Each structure stands twice: as C-alpha cells, then as structure tokens.
Amino acid sequence: MVEALRVGKAKTRYALESSESYLVLEARPEKVFAVFIECVRRGFRGLCITREYPKKIQRQYDLGGSRIFWLKEREQTDENVVEGLLDLSLLIREFIGTKNSIVLLDGLEYLVSRHGFEPVYHFVQNMRNNISAAEAILLVSAHPKAFDKAKLALLSRELRIVEYPTQTLNLGHLGHPNREAQI
C-alpha cells in the first residue's frame, strides 16, 4: 500500500518529501510520470527532462505548465534539447531556484551510455546536493536491469529507491482517456 505523506502542504498518494531525490525503477517511465503529474497538479513547478519526443509527452500527459526538455544529441538549432551533463546541471540548478519545484529525469541509462557511469554518478551526487539545498524533489527513472548490483548499490546511496505497488491505473485523468498503465 502506498502511504499518503505531506508534500509541501498538500497530501499526495505517493510517499515523497521535499529535499529528497528518488530513483523509480521501471521498464517504461509510467509510474514516474504519474507521480510527477500528481505533484504538478498539487502546485509544484515541474521540469521534465525525457528521452521521449516532447510533443509526444505533451499529447500523452497533461503536464500543466511544466517545462519539457528532450534528452538527446543537439542537431542544428533544436529548441528545448539538453545534451551534456554540464548543460543538464545548469538547467536543473536554474529551475530549482524557486520553492516547490519538482524535476523528472527520464533517461539515466542514456546518460550512462553517453558519458560513462562515473561522471553520471558524480552528476547524481551533485544534483542530490542541489535538490536538498533548494528543498525541491528529484525523480529519476531507470530500467531495473540497466545497472549491475554494485552500480545500483551506489545509486541507492544517493537516491531513495522507490518501488510502487503494481495496480492498474486509468491514466484518463492524466490527459489520455483510454490509456491504462501498471503503477
């Protein structure tokens, strides 16, 4: 059963705390989007960084006024694209400068494939510090089989691992009326 915990002043179905960073292990980033959307609907400012095409995300989910960035190689003058760890760090730090901010990072495996585990691990450590100081929330999504036990152990020292119980959720209230997902 998922606990109800205070997130800021609002109640939420998900156990989240300000100043914390979380790793949501799932094959597809569906649970993490459900959590992110609920927080945005309860007044958090959202920043979504994803491997999915931003217009697809906008069609699939109702992210309110959240900013969406595509995590990919920059081609020509793509807008809303973030590529390197430095650019990603600067984007997140700038965004969390105000209260009640939540950041969704979907693509940890991609970052590791592009930059290697050690630089990405240092990035995660740095982001955890920034998120804590800003009293924000960081949600990171990753496939549970993407990392070996040792790397997952390191990540779990920096990010709270979240495994929500599986139940069917109708995502109609999240912007797509006929879609169901396991969360």
User: Domain with 58 in it: what CATH number?
Assistant: 3.40.50.300
Q: Tell me: the pLDDT tens digits for 144-161? A: 899 999 999 999 999 998
Q: Evaluate whether residue 172 is within a structural domain.
A: no
Tally the C-alpha atoms within 13 A of residue 31's C-alpha that lie toward its C-beta: 25
**Alpha-carbon distances, residue 34 vs 49, 124, 137 (angstroms):** 15, 22, 15
Q: Assess whether pLDDT exceeds 50 at residue 2.
A: no
Report the C-alpha gap between 50 and 162 in whole angstroms: 19
Residue by residue, DSSP assigns 14-42 as: S---TTEEEEEE-SSTTHHHHHHHHHHHT
Considering the chain, what is the average pLDDT of its residues? 82
Instruction: Name which residue leads in pLDDT, 2 or 175.
Output: 175
Number of domains observed in the structure of the chain = 1
Residue 35 lies in domain: 19-163
pTM above 0.85, yes or no: no
The proportion of the chain whose per-residue pLDDT surpasses 90, expressed as a percent, equals: 55
Lowest mean pLDDT among 73-77, 85-89, 112-116, 174-178: 174-178
* pLDDT value at residue 140: 96
Residue by residue, DSSP assigns 39-107 as: HHHTT-EEEEEESS-HHHHHHHS--TT-EEEEES---TT-SSEE-SHHHHHHHHHHHTTSSSEEEEEE-
Q: Evaluate whether residue 168 is within a structural domain.
A: no
Q: Evaluate whether residue 171 is within a structural domain.
A: no
Q: Assess whether pLDDT exceeds 60 at residue 183.
A: no
The partner residues of 67 in beta bridges, in order of sequence, read 47
Q: Tell me: the pLDDT tens digits for 84-138? A: 899 999 999 999 998 899 999 999 999 999 999 999 999 999 999 999 999 999 9
